[in-house]
Structure 1
Amino acid sequence: MFFQRFFAMANYSFSSSPSSSSKTSIQAIYDICKKNLTPISAPPPEVIHELSSLLDTIGPADVGLKEEHQEDDRGHGLSTPNTFNRVDRWAQPITYVDLNESQSFTMCMFCFPTSSVIPLHDHPEMTVLSKVLYGSLHVKAYDWVEPACIKDSKETARAPVRLAKLVVDKVLSAPCSASILYPKTGGNLHCFTAITSCAVLDILTPPYEESAGRKCTYYRDYPYSSFRSGDEPVAGKEDEYAWLEEIETPDDLYMRQGIYGGPPIQI
C-alpha cells in the first residue's frame, strides 16, 4: 500500500458504531465506488455528483470516530506564543486509516493533530473527493499552468521549477461540503495544515500506483517573483502564481496506521 512506508509501528484504533440492519452511509459510498470506478478511466460527472452528495451527509459517527478523538490537540497552534518551548509539530503522527484499497479506488481517512501538515503533493491522473469530518483544515492547492513553463535553477543543488496557479487557499471547517479535485483542475497539487485537530475522509480514483505512472511527488513552492523573467504565460495577479520544485519525500512526514472501527463495510 502506498501510505504504508510512512507509518510508525504503533496502531491507533477507533470505537465501533452500533450495527444497523439498514445500509449505512459508508456502505452506500463503498457500493457506488465498487460499481462505478475503474482503474483506467475517470469517473463520469453523474457518479461524482452522487458520491459528493453522499459525502456531504457523512459525519464522524458514520465512520466510528468518537468525541475523545476530536479533542486530540497534540501539536501547537499556528499563532501560539513561545512555540519553541513546546513539542514540535511533527512530534505526533498523522493517523492513516484504510477503509478499502483496490485497483480502482482507495477509501481512507487521515486524522490530524493540531498544526500537523501533509506537505504539497500531487495526484497524477487521479480524481479525489475529500470530506472534512470534524475540525478545521487549511487547504492550499495549485494546478499546473499549461503549456508547461519550466525553468532551470542557477543553483546546482536545486531541481528545475515549474509554474503553477493557485486555485484554493482557504480553511475548511466541519460541517462543510465535499471537495473535488480532478487530474488537471480543481487543485490537483495540494497541501493540508490542521488548524485544529481534524479528520478527512478521502476517495482517490484510480489509486496511487507507481507502475501505472501514478507516483506521489512532493513539492516546495516559491513566490512567482523568485524566478520571474517576464515571458511567462501569466494572466491575473502575480500572487496567484507560484513556482513548484520537486523534492524528495520529506523525512519528517510522520504517519502511523490506524484501525478502522466504524460500521462494517461489506466488500
Structure 2
Amino acid sequence: MMPRDSMTSTVQKIARQALTTFRNPSAVGEHGKVFLENLSKLKSLVAEVRAADLRIAPRTSASAPVPSQRVAPPVTYMHIYETDTFSMGVFLLKTGASIPLHDHPGMHGMLKVIYGKVRISCFDRLDKPRDGASGAHFSPPLVPFQSSSLRPAVLRSVGEYTEENGPCVLSPQKDNIHQIDAVDGPTAFLDILSPPYDPDEGRDCHYYKVLHAHSEASDRKSEAQEQGDLWLMEIPQPSEFWCGGEPYPGPEVSL
C-alpha cells in the first residue's frame, strides 16, 4: 500500500501549507523566522505545480472558446478553495488579455504560471517622492482634480514568467500593486491570496493608472523611463476588463 502522503494531490499539499503559513495573522510578518520558513516551503510546493496537476489542458488560440469576443470575458477564474485565511484559484487569460494594474490591501500573494507566458509589472506606493525626485524639478502631473488623490510610486520590476519559472510573490509592503499581461498567446496561473479580498474588512480591489510627473529637466521620452517620476491615480475598473467564471476540473481540496 502506498504511503498516505504520496496519494495526496499537489493542490491539496499546497492548500495545507498555505493554511499553515498564513493561519496565525499576528505571526505573519515580513521578517518572522517561522513565517519565512513556512513561506519558503509554500514557494517550493507552488513552484512544482503544473497544469496537469490541476487537470487543466493548456489552451491555444485555436482551442479558445468560439463565442463572440464582444461578450466572452477576456479573463476567467476557476475557484479552487477559500477560507478566512486564504483563497486559491486559477486565472485564465486569453491572447492579448490583461489584468489591469490593481492592488492587494494588506495581503500576501503568490502567482505561479501553469501554461503560457505572462508579463508582470510590479509597483510600490511611496510615502513621498524618492530622494532627488522632489523640489521644483519634480511635481505631480497636471490633472483636473486635487493632487492629494495621487500617490508617488516606484516601478519595482517587470518580468516574464512561464511554467518553468518559480512563483511571483507579493507582500503587503512589496510588489503589492501589479499588472499581468498575457504574452504570445493564452496563459493561466495559480493564484493564492492571504487573507482573501473582503470589502467589509477593508480589502477591496482598487485599480490604478500610472502617470508620469512633469519634469523640467527631462523631455517626455526620458521622463517615461525615470522610475522616480511615477504617480498612481486610482481609477474605476477599466471597461475593457471583466472576469468570468469556469468550473475547476482538478482534485478536490479539503481542510
Using the size of structure 1 for normalisation, the TM-score is: 0.75
User: For 1:229-256, what per-residue CA distance to the aligned partner results, in whole angstroms no more than 9, with x for missing partners?
Assistant: 79xxxxxx96223211000122221211
Stretches of structure 1 lacking an aligned partner (at least 5 in a row):
1-19, 76-86, 231-236
Q: Which whole-Å CA distance do the structure 2 matches of 1:158 and 1:145 have between them?
A: 15
Stretches of structure 2 lacking an aligned partner (at least 5 in a row):
30-34, 131-138, 218-223
In structure 2, the partner of 1:62 is 53
Q: Which whole-Å CA distance do the structure 1 matches of 2:52 and 2:210 have between them?
A: 36
Written as runs of structure 1 = structure 2, the 5 A alignment for 1:1-267 is 22-38=7-23, 40-41=25-26, 42=28, 44-67=35-58, 69-71=59-61, 92-147=73-128, 151=140, 153-156=142-145, 160-185=149-174, 187-195=175-183, 196-223=185-212, 226-228=213-215, 239-241=226-228, 242-267=230-255
Change (3 A) 1:104 1:72: farther
Is residue 153–residue 232 contact of structure 2 (8 Å, CA) maintained in 1? yes
User: For 1:141-167, what per-residue CA distance to the aligned partner results, in whole angstroms no more than 9, with x for missing partners?
Assistant: 101123478958541398832111111
How many residue pairs match? The answer is 227
Q: Which whole-Å CA distance do the structure 2 matches of 1:89 and 1:159 have between them?
A: 37
What SS does the corresponding residue of 2:89 show, helix, strand or coil? strand
Is residue 134–residue 173 contact of structure 1 (8 Å, CA) maintained in 2? yes
Q: Which whole-Å CA distance do the structure 2 matches of 1:24 and 1:183 have between them?
A: 29
User: For 1:209-231, what per-residue CA distance to the aligned partner results, in whole angstroms no more than 9, with x for missing partners?
Assistant: 112221111000022xx33479x
Greater Rg by CA: 2
Q: Which whole-Å CA distance do the structure 2 matches of 1:72 and 1:143 have between them?
A: 37
Greater shift after overlay, 102-111 or 36-45?
36-45
Change (3 A) 1:166 1:152: closer
User: For 1:87-142, what per-residue CA distance to the aligned partner results, in whole angstroms no more than 9, with x for missing partners?
Assistant: 87995431101111211101011001111011000011111011011101011110
Q: Which whole-Å CA distance do the structure 2 matches of 1:159 and 1:253 have between them?
A: 27
Is residue 141–residue 214 contact of structure 2 (8 Å, CA) maintained in 1? no
| Residue identity opposite 1:190 in structure 2 | H
Among the aligned pairs, what percent are the same residue? 27
Q: Which whole-Å CA distance do the structure 1 matches of 2:125 and 2:63 have between them?
A: 35
Q: Which whole-Å CA distance do the structure 1 matches of 2:41 and 2:125 have between them?
A: 28
